[in-house]
Every structure is written in structure tokens, then in C-alpha cells.
Amino acid sequence: HKISFVCPAVLHSLKYFMTSSTGIPNIPELVATVEVDELLLGYCDSNKKVDVKQDIAKSFFIKYPERLEWYKQRCFHIFPSSFKSYTNSLMSLYNQSGGVHVLQRVNGCEWDDETGEVKGFVKYGYDGEDLLEFDLNTSTWIALRPEAVTAKPIWDANKVMREYYQTAFTQIYPERLKTYAEYGRSVLQRTDLPSVSLLQKTPSSPVSCLATGFYPHRASLVWRKDGEELHEEVDHGEILPNHDGTFQMSVDLNLSSVTPEDWTRYDCVFQLFGVKEEIITKLEKDRIRTNEGKSEIRGLITRTASSYERGPSPPARLGPHAPQSPWKLAPKDDGLGEKVRTQANI
């Protein structure tokens, strides 16, 4: 018996966050961060500070130094000037002569690596509230609050900005995101097999087959009877993250209608995408760990002529979470990049 697999899509994202401020002493006029798949890649500001986050990002920029230089040029020279011009224009439009003002932007794209669909986005916020959002279909700006209605025709008339975003959404951002995603996959093609245990709270409770410590996120855990996957009397749990970056999942088997002499006909099978081995754990009473303190018995790893031999697609049973991106292996940064993102509110 072979377990069938269906390839799930991975939704990748590229996001740039920019915050430009006036009237605030002792902080840079412009602060920018870039994220890939929600992992902070780097930080830069108009004071010519650059901070590359995470080892994978550092190795990426060593391989592609021109990309880092591109970010520096825009962060140090181009963006401070353009954002200051936008801010002055908005201040004039709203009859603001001075004081503290903050202009923010989030832009980038999302890419579905299965369908190839790309969605670009850019949104501006001013003084802590959403302002304008670009509509690629009409190549016009959408006013996100009443005060933005007066700014919309002025931004719509900006041909240079409009053409830039049309090119960025269809070419620049998707190409850049695909480069990041492909690099992440090539660097971090790691696989970790789990330990598998059989657990039961009470003699009348379902038997839970628990697999913990596996990576990547794409895996299948099923109960079988006589080699056939069970769909009745089973309850699949979610895939959950462990503190060390690996994952765990479980599937319960209701034994209320199973006679003791039939137990040996059941087994729990774990399969990990990209690995030829499957872990088979037989349903035997002395293998079950209960509240009475029986020890954990791990499943046996066996090589099989399964669909893995033919290079399978990832399994379908993944719980509610999307497959894990390689760029998410490192923890999210809790420094300034996170604060800028929180303050952006757009």
C-alpha cells in the first residue's frame, strides 16, 4: 500500500517597509527594512547604517554583493530625497507648516510557486493612518481616508511613479523574490526525522500516535489497518512548531470497536517529504506509553519501495498551516525592524 501525495503551494512574500519622519530629533530621517517570507533580511537608514540580519541573509549578500549595493544606494541617497519631497507635498496640501510628520510605505509582492501567480502591492500611510493604495489594474491610486481624496489626483498624475510600480509589480519584485526563494531552498535543504510514540491517557481513551522533531513542515502521519490507510475512527491533529524549529503532529485512533486480537493489524506510518524512509510503529500494548509510566517506544525506520523512490510531491495532510519557507528557519528579529513594522500600521 502506498500513501498518495499532492503538492501544496508555498506562498512567498517580499516586503519593504519605509518610515520617513520630520521634526523628530536624534533619529534618522529615513528607516527601511526588507523581509522575505516574514523574516527580517536587513535594516538600513539615512545615517548610512546597514545591518544585515540572520546568517542566511549574510551569505546571500556575499554571493550577490550587487544586491546589497543596490539597497545602500537607495537607502542612503534616493529614498531620503524622494520621501522628503512626498512629505513636503502632503504638508503643503494639508496646510501644515511644521511639527512632527511621518510618511510610511509598505510595498512588495506575493508569489505562489505552484501556480506562478504574483500579486504586487504598495500602500502609503501618513501621520499614523492609511493614506493611499495603488491599484495595478487601473494604474490609479485609491484614497483610504477622506483626507486622501485631494491627494489622489496629484498622485494619479505622477507618470514616473505610476510607471515605476507597473514595472516593479510585474518584473522587479517577482524576479527578486524568486531569487531569494530559490537561494533559500538551495542553502537549507535539511531533513530531520522524528521520534514516534504511542500515547494513551486511559485504557478507554484513543491511542495517539505522536511524531515530534521532524523538519521540514511537509509530512504525513496516518493509521493503517492491514496496510490500508484508515479514514474512519481517526482524528488528525494540527502540525505544531517545537521550540527548536522542528515540528510535531499526532493522529488518534479510536479503539472502542477493535478487539485485542486485532491490534496487530494496525500500525502508524510517518513519512517526511524528500526522505525515502518511512517510520512504522506497530500497535502493540507494550509499546503504548500511558499515565501509568510505561516507557516510550520509538517506531522502526524501514526502507520501502514507496512513492519516495520516484521523487514524490509533498503530502496533502498538512493541517491548517502552509508549508514552511526556508527563510523562516531563523527567528524573527525583535529589534528596530520589528518596531518599524509595528509602527507602520499599513
pLDDT top residue among 271 and 189: 271
How confident is the model at residue 215, as a pLDDT?
A: 78
Domain of 52 in residue numbering reads as 11-188+329-344
Same-domain check for residues 201 and 158: no
Q: What is the pLDDT of residues 80-108, one digit of tens each?
A: 999 999 999 999 999 998 899 999 999 99
Same-domain check for residues 35 and 181: yes
- Please check whether residue 16 lies inside any domain of the structure: yes
CATH of the domain at 301: 2.60.40.10
Same-domain check for residues 15 and 114: yes
- Please check whether residue 6 lies inside any domain of the structure: no
Domain count, the chain: 2
**Is pLDDT of 110 > 70?**
yes
**Is pLDDT of 257 > 60?**
yes
How confident is the model at residue 341, as a pLDDT?
A: 32
How confident is the model at residue 39, as a pLDDT?
A: 76
Instruction: Report the C-alpha gap between 104 and 121 in whole angstroms.
Output: 14
How confident is the model at residue 244, as a pLDDT?
A: 76
pLDDT top residue among 184 and 79: 79
Same-domain check for residues 231 and 171: no
Percent of the chain whose predicted confidence (pLDDT) is above 90: 55
Same-domain check for residues 47 and 184: yes
Same-domain check for residues 129 and 246: no
**Is pLDDT of 345 > 70?**
no
Q: What is the pLDDT of residues 307-318, one digit of tens each?
A: 222 233 333 333
- Please check whether residue 232 lies inside any domain of the structure: yes
pLDDT range class, residue 305, cuts 50, 70, 90: very low
Q: Where are the beta strands (DSSP E) in the chain?
A: 11-22, 30-36, 39-45, 49-52, 101-112, 118-126, 129-135, 140-143, 195-200, 207-214, 219-225, 228-229, 234-236, 240-241, 247-253, 266-272, 277-282, 288-290, 300-303
- Please check whether residue 316 lies inside any domain of the structure: yes
Same-domain check for residues 135 and 276: no
**Burial (CB count <10 Å: 0-12, 13-18, 19+), residue 337:** buried
CATH of the domain at 340: 3.30.500.10
**Is pLDDT of 343 > 70?**
no
Same-domain check for residues 24 and 115: yes
Same-domain check for residues 227 and 106: no
- Please check whether residue 264 lies inside any domain of the structure: yes
